[in-house]
Amino acid sequence: MTRMKLKEAAMRLFGEKGYDGTALSEIAKEVGVKTPAIYAFYENKEDLFMTVFRDAMQSYNRFIQQLSDEQQVRSTRDNLYRILTRQYEYYRESQEISLFALRYLLFPPPFLKETIDQAFLQSDVLLTEIIQGIMVQGQQKGEIREQSIEPLVDAFLNVMDGLCMQYFYYSSKEVYERKLNNAFEMYWNGARS
């Protein structure tokens, strides 16, 4: 129980104050334990941080796997649009995790950059494979015009990344949804047959 509370407090504080701005004593205080108690569970601050970061990425990987499992007999357009709307749902439901992961993917502590990059690449590979599969099926069905798959996947990932940033920029649900729909329609108009 204490281990879980330490991770929750660490995620919140690392997310709010950054790695350098968060002391282990603050995390311990929030949980109601003394700082040495942290060492019963974690080697040091870096170990606690990376445990929290890996948990955040595993949460996103589970989301990605659900996307793969949800692919049914829908049109290519519907499958791609569903990925964007499901990503939006994930951000809303897991805002603290999403914000934490985004902060450190964009601005990792320099000595952890390589480790963070490796954790991110696992998610990127999973997501790329799902999108690539949708694109290949779309071409086989004649819903996407014959062209190289790689640019289609890369462009879609960029739409996803852009919408991720937009989600955190705008507090208005209506504005975000308008941007999501407009970005998707522009993408789809360029990709379809």
Q: Per-residue b/e over 102-137, b at no fewer than 16 CB within 10 Å?
A: bbbbeebeeebeebbeebbeebeebbbebbeebbee
Which of 79, 52, 49 has its CA nearest to residue 67? Answer: 79
Place of tokens 């790329």: 128
- The pLDDT of residue 64: 81
Extents of the domains making up the chain:
1-42, 50-191
**CATH says 1-42 is which class?**
mainly alpha
- The pLDDT of residue 31: 95
- Contact (CB, 8 A) for 9 and 23: no
* Mean predicted lDDT score pLDDT of the chain: 91
50-191 maps to which CATH number?
A: 1.10.357.10
- The pLDDT of residue 171: 84
Taking only the tens place, the pLDDT of each residue in 159-171 is 999 999 998 888 8
Q: Which residue stretches of the chain are H helix? A: 2-17, 24-31, 45-70, 76-93, 95-106, 113-141, 149-169, 173-191
Which of 103, 113, 110 has its CA nearest to residue 11? Answer: 103
Is the pLDDT score of 144 beyond 90? yes
- Contact (CB, 8 A) for 105 and 120: yes
Taking only the tens place, the pLDDT of each residue in 27-37 is 999 999 999 99
pLDDT band at 72 (very low <50, low <70, confident <90, very high): low
